[in-house]
């Protein structure tokens, strides 16, 4: 069985994280992943949009046994308690993915405070709700609150410099996210083959674990990642295309049907994003070239400098997914989409890729050593 320090840290079976993907909820996917022996992450970005994009908020609360009238903290509390109820008998481990970018500080505090409160009021949840996963922002300043409450703290980064800042902030587990990954990527692209070992060499020690994400979808890519020195992997797109995934059927099917060179980069809500290639995303890429050229030049811009019709195009296109409108839909996915051709149950997927990774690792000495 593939096992690493990450398994020992959290008490999980496999050194794999199911990514907390948005904007769709993944409440059911998280529970299925945790029950399959990996770390399940809850997406929380849908909680930001109760008033401006209610179709996103409604999907989150509907799949999490919350109410559409609930405010952010109440809805999250109900989802956390539901997830605990669904995974506790199987020893499942989960946590929320909380975006901590500067413009979301108030919302991030609400979500982290809610998770802390729920654990304190329900001590049994300390056996399941073990992780706080933060993303899309600076880790500095969050450590006292998160680690002080007893969570294992995980933060995702796109570079060695960002990993060093995580180390300074006291992050327990750093996820190095390569440019192959889906949806939000970095302004200065760095791919997994280079990024993983660079971050491991810079920050990994007895107190700091490093995991790798971006392009990981099967046992072969897990084995390759472990060979680069990481303690485990983050997988998003591969989990998106599963039977339990909450994502809309047209999004899941588009991943399965993606072929060679099936993705492209264009503007996303918070910078560059990787989308499945279709006429709509190709139009979005052309618009990005005109209105946000920094996406392709590694030069960050923001809403104060770009034509907001570009962002409105994305909002309209994400709404189209919720409506099942393929012609107007923008759907994010990683480069590994072209290697995905089926939609299994989560438990079947996890067992299959773990077995494949074990076989690859076991056969390497036979194949390459005299």
Assess if residue 128 is contained within a domain.
yes
Domain match, 358 and 296 both: no
The answer on pLDDT for 180 being more than 60 is: yes
- Would you state the pLDDT for residue 369? 64
pTM score, whole prediction: 0.93
- Would you state the pLDDT for residue 348? 97
Assess if residue 234 is contained within a domain.
yes
Range of the domain at 153: 5-247+342-368
Mean pLDDT of 201-227: 95
Domain match, 164 and 265 both: no
Domain match, 358 and 291 both: no
Is residue 195 very low, low, confident or very high in pLDDT (cuts 50, 70, 90)?
A: very high
Assess if residue 254 is contained within a domain.
no
- Would you state the pLDDT for residue 85? 96
Domain match, 160 and 125 both: yes
Summarize pLDDT for 229-285 with one digit per residue, the tens: 999 999 999 999 999 999 999 999 999 999 899 999 999 988 899 999 999 999 999
Domain match, 303 and 346 both: no
- Would you state the pLDDT for residue 370? 55
Domain match, 240 and 264 both: no
The answer on pLDDT for 62 being more than 80 is: yes
Summarize pLDDT for 319-362 with one digit per residue, the tens: 999 899 999 999 999 999 999 999 999 999 999 999 999 999 98
Instruction: Identify which has the larger pLDDT, 3 or 121.
Output: 121
CATH number, position 239: 3.20.20.70
Q: What share of the chain in percent tops pLDDT 70?
A: 99
Instruction: Identify which has the larger pLDDT, 279 or 60.
Output: 279
Domain match, 198 and 288 both: no
Domain match, 288 and 354 both: no
Question: 23 and 246 in contact (C-beta within 8 Å)?
Answer: no
Report the distance separating Cα 364 and Cα 112, nearest Å.
43
Mean pLDDT of 66-91: 93
Assess if residue 175 is contained within a domain.
yes
Domain match, 121 and 233 both: yes
Domain match, 164 and 207 both: yes
Number of domains in the chain: 2
Mean pLDDT of 18-43: 94
Assess if residue 312 is contained within a domain.
yes
Summarize pLDDT for 83-127 with one digit per residue, the tens: 999 999 999 999 999 988 877 888 889 999 999 999 999 999 999
Report the distance separating Cα 131 and Cα 150, nearest Å.
9
Domain match, 204 and 124 both: yes
Assess if residue 232 is contained within a domain.
yes
Assess if residue 26 is contained within a domain.
yes
The answer on pLDDT for 75 being more than 70 is: yes
The answer on pLDDT for 366 being more than 80 is: no
Assess if residue 337 is contained within a domain.
no
Domain match, 145 and 198 both: yes
């Amino acid at each position: 069985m593939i096992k690493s320090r990450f398994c020992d840290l959290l008490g999980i079976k496999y050194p794999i994280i199911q990514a907390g993907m948005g904007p769709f909820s993944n409440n059911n996917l998280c529970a299925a992943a945790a029950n399959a022996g990996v770390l399940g992450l809850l997406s929380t970005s849908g909680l930001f949009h109760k008033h401006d994009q209610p179709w996103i908020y409604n999907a989150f609360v509907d799949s999490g046994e919350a109410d559409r009238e609930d405010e952010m903290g109440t809805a999250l509390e109900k989802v956390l308690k539901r997830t605990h109820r669904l995974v506790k008998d199987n020893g499942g481990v989960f946590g929320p993915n909380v975006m901590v970018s500067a413009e979301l500080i108030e919302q991030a505090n609400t979500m982290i405070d809610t998770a802390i409160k729920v654990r304190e009021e329900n001590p049994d949840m300390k056996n399941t709700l073990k992780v706080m996963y933060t993303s899309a922002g600076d880790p500095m300043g969050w450590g006292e609150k998160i680690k002080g409450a007893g969570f294992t703290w995980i933060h995702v980064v796109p570079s060695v410099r960002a990993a060093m800042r995580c180390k300074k902030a006291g992050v327990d587990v750093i996820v190095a996210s390569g440019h192959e990954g889906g949806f939000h990527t970095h302004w200065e692209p760095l791919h997994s083959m280079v990024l993983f070992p660079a971050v491991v060499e810079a920050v990994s020690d007895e107190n700091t674990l490093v995991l790798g994400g971006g392009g990981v979808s099967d046992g072969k890519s897990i084995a390759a990642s472990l060979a680069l020195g990481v303690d485990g992997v983050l997988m998003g797109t591969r989990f998106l295309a599963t039977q339990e995934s909450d994502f809309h059927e047209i999004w899941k099917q588009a991943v399965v049907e993606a072929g060679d060179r099936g993705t492209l980069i264009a503007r996303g809500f918070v910078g560059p994003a990787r989308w499945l290639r279709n006429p709509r995303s190709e139009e979005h890429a052309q618009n990005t070239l005109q209105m946000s050229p920094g996406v392709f030049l590694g030069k960050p811009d923001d809403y104060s400098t770009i034509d907001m019709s570009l962002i409105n195009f994305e909002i309209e296109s994400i709404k189209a997914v919720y409506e099942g409108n393929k012609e107007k839909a923008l759907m994010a996915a990683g480069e590994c989409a072209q290697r995905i051709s089926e939609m299994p149950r989560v438990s079947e997927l996890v067992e299959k890729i773990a077995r494949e990774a074990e076989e690859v690792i076991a056969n390497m000495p036979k194949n390459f050593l005299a």
